[in-house]
Amino acid sequence: MSTISASKAKREAKKAAKAKEGKLKTKRLTKKEKEKLAQQGDVESATDQINKLKLQQDKDGLSDRVVTGVLDSLVTSRDIKLSSVSLLFHGKVLLQDSNVELNHENTQFQNTLISTY
């Protein structure tokens, strides 16, 4: 079984698509060529389904979860501050217009404060 390069497969698929539309006058496809094109179509549809599963999208392209918010902290800051945070999961609102703050605490500073008391 010989393998063909991706570029050659792409050229053959483009050529077959033109032939299918009737724009390209070429020889008729053999059974093996038809089967090969059908397999390529199956692979492409399977790849699309896998990509949708990775993104957790339904048949309409909508995600199962939606998160929105505004980053209020500086990019160089260790603390993260978000405002107007909303979280939807399968169409149900879990958080709406909330503020989220994640603080990076300096443990060395805390240890010195605890030891001084």
pLDDT single digits (tens) 60-101: 666 677 889 999 999 888 888 999 999 988 778 998 999 988
Question: Taking a C-beta distance cutoff of 8 angstroms, is the pair 69, 84 a contact?
Answer: yes
Burial profile 34-55: b = 16 or more Cβ within 10 angstroms, e = fewer = eebbeeeeeeeeeeeeeeeeee
Structure tokens at 107: 């443990």
pTM of the model: 0.40
Q: What pLDDT sits at residue 83?
A: 92
Q: What pLDDT sits at residue 23?
A: 65
Domain boundaries along the sequence of the chain: 6-54, 65-108
Q: How far is residue 65 from each of residues 39, 50, 108, measured CA to CA in Å?
A: 33, 18, 38
- Closest among 62, 66, 59, 9 to 33, alpha carbons compared: 9
Coil, helix or strand for 14? helix
Structure tokens at 79: 């603390």
